[in-house]
Amino acid sequence: MKITVAGTGYVGLVTGVSLAEIGHQVICFDINEQKVKELQAGRSPIYEPGLEEMLCSNMNGKRIYFTSNAEYAYKEADLIIIAVGTPENDDGSANLSYVRLVAEDIAKYSRQEEIIIVTKSTVPVGTNEKVKKWVDEESSKRFKKIHIVSNPEFLREGSALYDTFNGDRIVVGTDCKEVAMKMDELYGPLNIPIIHTDIESSEMIKYASNAFLATKISFINEIANICEKVGANIDDVSRGIGMDQRIGPKFLQAGVGYGGSCFPKDTKALVQLAGDVHHRFHLLEAVINVNNNQPLLLIQKAREIVGTFEHKKVAILGIAFKPNTDDIRESASLVLIKELINEGAIITVYDPIATYLAKQVLGENVLYSSSIDDAINDADITFIATEWKQVVNYPLNKYVSLMKDPIIIDGRNCYPLASIRKENITYVSVGRETLY
C-alpha cells in the first residue's frame, strides 16, 4: 500500500514515522514549506523523546519522505491518513477547515479509482461522512469507491512513540469488511488489539476517552480541594481509591489542572456536539469549570499567605502543560502567569525546554532564566506549574538558601510533606496540609 499522511503535527509525524518504522512506505505532506524543509533535513519540528532518531533512521532506510507538493503526495496514494489540526472555533466547536482542505486536495490530485481515507484528526461525529461527501463532490464523483475510516489517536505528548508501540487498543471504525482487513494489515506489526466499530462509534470513542480522563482529573482535584478543608491527604486518598481495579490508579494525580492541546479543546467540543443534538452535558460542563478554577484556587491560597503580589518577586517553575514536551498550549502555568501579572507580580520563569515558545507568547512581560537557581534567587514566592524532573529532583535546601523567606506554592505536589518538614519552608500544595 502507498501511504500518505496529511499533516506533520504531533499525530501526523508520529504516525508517519511509526508506520515507516514497521516497514511501510510513507509520504508525509504538510502545507508548511518551512516545516517540510526542516523534516527533509532530518530535524523534528516538535520535541518528542526518540522521534528525531527514528525519523532519521527511516529517512536513511528510504521508507519516509516529506513534501509540500500536494500532487506528489496524493497522486498515487492508496491510503491517505488525515492528521491535520482541528482547532477550536469561538463557540468551542471543532474547526474542520484543514480537514476540508485535505479532502479538496485528494479530489484534485489523486489519480486512483479507489481510495481509503483514514481520519486520525479528532473530529466530531459525522465528519468522516462529510469528508467522503467533500471528496466526492470536489472530484465530480470521479472515484469508483471512496472508503472512509475513523481511526482516532490515543497517544500522549511526551510519550507519543511509547504509546504508539505499546497502546492499549487501536480503534478502527469503518463500514467495509475488506477495508477493516486492510487496516488490520497496516497495524499488524504493532501487535496491539484492534477494535472494529462503525464510523460514528469510533469517532465518539475518541471524545468520550478524553472527556472521561479529564473528568477523572477534575474529580480528583475537587476531592483534593475538600481534603485540604477536612485534613485528609490527597496522595493517600488517590492511592486508596486507585487500588480499586474498577477505578484504576491513573489520572488521579491532583494538581493545578489539565492543559494541552487536547483535553481543553475536546471537552468543549463534546459539550458543543451534545448541544447540537439538544443534549446538555451537565457533567462535562462541571469538569471544565472545575479545571478553569483550579489555578485560581492556588493563587488564592498564595494570596492568603503573602497578602498581595504587588511588587513581589515570583518564580514560576515550568511553562509546558506537562513534562517531556515543549507544548505550552492551554498550560495551567500561563493562567497563573497572566493572573499574577495582573496583580502586579514581577515574574521570572524557568522551563528546561519550552522557554523559546514562552517568549513568543509572554514577550517582555516576564523575565526568563535558564536555571532553577537563577529563577528562585531572591524570590518571595515560587510557584511550581510543571513536574519536570529538574524540579522534582531539586534540592529543597536550595530554596532555603536562595529565596528570601521561602514560600513554595506547588501545583503538582512534587515533594513529599515529610521532606519539606525537615526544611524551613512555607509550603502549599494541592489536597494536602499547608506547612509553615
Q: Which residues form the interface with ligand UGA (CB under 6 A)?
A: 122, 153-157, 210, 213, 217, 251-253, 255, 258-260, 262-263, 321-322
CB count in 10 Å sphere of residue 234: 24
Quick check: is 262 catalytic? yes
Torsion of CA 255, 216, 160, 187, to 10 degrees: 180
Strand 194-197 and strand 170-173: the pairing is parallel
Helices 51-60 and 10-21: angle between axes, nearest 10 degrees: 50
- Annotated binding residue 101: no
Number of C-beta neighbours around residue 176 at 10 A:
14
Nearer to ligand UGA, 255 or 352 (CB): 255
Q: Which is nearer to ligand UGA, 70 or 298 (CB)?
A: 298
Residues 6+ apart with CB under 8 A from 387: 255, 318, 322, 323, 412, 414
Q: For residue 253, say whether it is annotated as part of any ligand binding site.
A: yes
Return the number of the residue (20 or 252) whose C-beta is nearest ligand UGA. Answer: 252
In the complex, least distance from residue 312 CB atom to ligand UGA, rounded to whole angstroms: 26
206 is in an annotated binding site: yes
Is 154 annotated as ligand-binding? Answer: yes
Q: How far is the CB of 102 from ligand UGA (least distance, A)?
A: 18
The β-bridge relationship of strands 313-317 and 381-384 is parallel
CA separation for the pair 260, 302 (Å, rounded): 24
Nearest approach in angstroms of CB 130 to ligand UGA is 20
Cell of 249: 490508579
398 appears as a binding residue in the annotation: no
408 alpha carbon, distance to own chain's centre: 27
For ligand UGA, the closer CB: 110 or 218: 218
Residues 6 or more apart whose Cβ sits within 8 Å of residue 138:
103, 104, 107, 108
Catalytic residue among 28, 227, 262, 414: 262
Question: Of 105 and 410, which CB lies nearer to ligand UGA in the complex structure?
Answer: 410
329 has binding-site annotation: yes
Please state the residue numbers annotated as binding site for NAD(+). 30, 35, 86, 122, 157, 265, 329
Please state the residue numbers annotated as binding site. 30, 35, 86, 122, 154-157, 206, 251-255, 259, 265, 322, 329
Catalytic residues: 262
Please state the residue numbers annotated as binding site for substrate. 154-157, 206, 251-255, 259, 322
